[in-house]
Amino acid sequence: MNKRYLAGVIVAAVVVVAAGGAVFISRDHFPNQPTGFEGIAFGDPIQDHVRRLGLEEKEYSGPEAALGVSLYEPDKEKISPDHRGEHIEMYAFEGKFFGAYVYFHDCGDMVSAYHNKYGKPKDQASKGNSYSYYWNGGDVEINLGQVDSSCLLNIGYIKYKKIIKEKMDRIKSNY
């Protein structure tokens, strides 16, 4: 095989791979995209973290409960100060961690900290004294809502959210 031809093929392959990677990165990720929450990687068995975070399973009456979604509340003292809100809920799907909600009575500089850490939100909205910021990546989504000085943080693993939504849609379509 001709060395020049081989070099051309290699250069072309590198360009294609680099271009594909650039499209993948720009389309599916945002800067510093989290891979979990409080040391629990998305998709990890939540039971592996019960003792460390003082997780207590709570009664969950949402419609997703029938699909295998469970609710846990951690011991707030075992949560890092960045996530130690007034109320914290952590969710698992079929025993695997997929998301958390944290309510903060006072946002402080949380909104600007998230802008600095994750870049410009993919979407944002405002109505009156309410603001919503939305970051969405290939695997993770973050919603940060602010009303007056209070904040609600929702961080979740999209893979399980999509599966749960598909199952809910199938159930609804059968009625």
Residue 143: per-residue pLDDT: 92
Residue 3: per-residue pLDDT: 39
**Tokens encoding 103:** 């309510």
**Tokens encoding 33:** 């995209």
Residue 175: per-residue pLDDT: 67
Give pLDDT < 70 ranges for the chain: 1-28, 175
DSSP state of 11: H
Residue 158: per-residue pLDDT: 77
Q: Are 110 and 104 spatial neighbours (Cβ–Cβ below 8 Å)?
A: yes
DSSP state of 12: H
Q: Is the model's pTM score more than 0.85?
A: no
What is the per-residue pLDDT across 59-90, written as a single tens digit (0 to 9) for each? Answer: 988 888 888 899 999 999 999 888 888 899 99
Sign of CA pseudo-dihedral 104, 110, 114, 115: positive
CA distance 149 to 42: 29
